[in-house]
Amino acid sequence: MSYITIASIISLEFPENNEVYQGYLNMALGMGFCVGPALAAILVRWFDYMGTNFIFAALILIIGLGGVFSLPARINEDHSQENDTGETDTMKKSHRRMSPTKHSSRTSRRS
């Protein structure tokens, strides 16, 4: 689930270089899959099972807090505004996409 969130943030923050940064994300994910089990085995040998859990819990907490505080505030802003009927701009756009147009070329008849 966090992979989807990180990929979405990358596509929002870097639309012009999206492919490059998505590649960096995938590279880091692959490196984690390669290095993670070896690092866990070393830590289990040195610190036993419980010590390894505490080390990884602290590491996840530090990285998570760093991620939360490094995100730009504009990602959490709501850009949609309600009108008098209670619909938001985002809802109107989705309704426009789903409803057929009134004056499409297929439905108009020429006399």
Q: Which of 72, 57, 63 is nearest to 28 (CA)?
A: 63
> Residues 50-108: pLDDT tens digits?
999 999 999 999 988 988 888 777 666 665 555 556 555 555 554 555 555 555 555 55
The amino acid present at 100, given as its one-letter code, is P
| Model pLDDT, residue 78 | 62
Q: DSSP alpha helices (H): ranges in the chain?
A: 2-13, 18-70, 89-98
Tell me if the pTM is above 0.85.
no
Burial of 73-100, coded b for 16+ CB within 10 Å and e otherwise, reads eeeeeeeeeeeeeeeeeeeeeeeeeeee
Q: Residue 88: beta bridge partners? A: 82
Domain borders along the chain are 2-70
| Model pLDDT, residue 62 | 96
